[in-house]
Amino acid sequence: MSAIKHITTPLTEQVIKTLHTGDTVELTGAVYTARDLAHKRLVESLRQGEVLPFNLNGAVIYYVGPSPAKPGKVIGSCGPTTSYRMDAYTPTLLAAGLKGMIGKGNRSPEVIEVIKKHCAVYFAAVGGAAALLAQRVRSARVIAYSELGPEAVQELVVENLPLIVVNDCYGADLYQEGVRRYKKEG
């Protein structure tokens, strides 16, 4: 088992090139929440030449719609949502400078190729551990599309958010490797 890699945002290509499928990572810094509707708006804004609500260069988007914070808490539960729903928007965002994505589940072969092309990375956060993941969020503030409620874009500052590299910048896919390994052993 390899050591945990501690990385910070914004992500650089130099750091991304050190990450490999299966690596365990703890991420610290600003990440931006966005789900389907927010992705659609971000891509529409880019296509219209508008300024986005955050700088995409080196940014990490977390596919999450956090629940409301309880009194005295920074944020409510914030577990990952299924990533393939963002696949239609991902190539445009990666071309504009996005470097990292956090979610759960597979990405399409097309997205994996675009991750490789733009030297980016896709991380998985453990589904079902939303309350535990929320403990790693130090601050949260809505920065765009507040009318979307829990799907608004928020800037989260996280500390040691535990993640696993699923798709690295070399085109590897942890899920496919797991299937191959299982077939060999079975």
Q: How far is CA 57 from the centre of its chain?
A: 14
Catalytic site residue 20?
A: no
Residue 176: how many CB atoms within 10 A of its CB? Answer: 15
Residues 6+ apart with CB under 8 A from 160: 6, 26, 27, 28, 136
DSSP structure class, residue 129: -
Q: Name the residue with tokens 């910048």.
A: 169
Q: Which two tokens stand for residue 130?
A: 């939303």
- Phi and psi based region of residue 161 (left: phi greater than 0; alpha: psi -120 to 50; beta: remaining): beta
The active-site residue, picked from 6, 20, 39, 118, is 39
Kindly list the catalytic residues.
Answer: 39
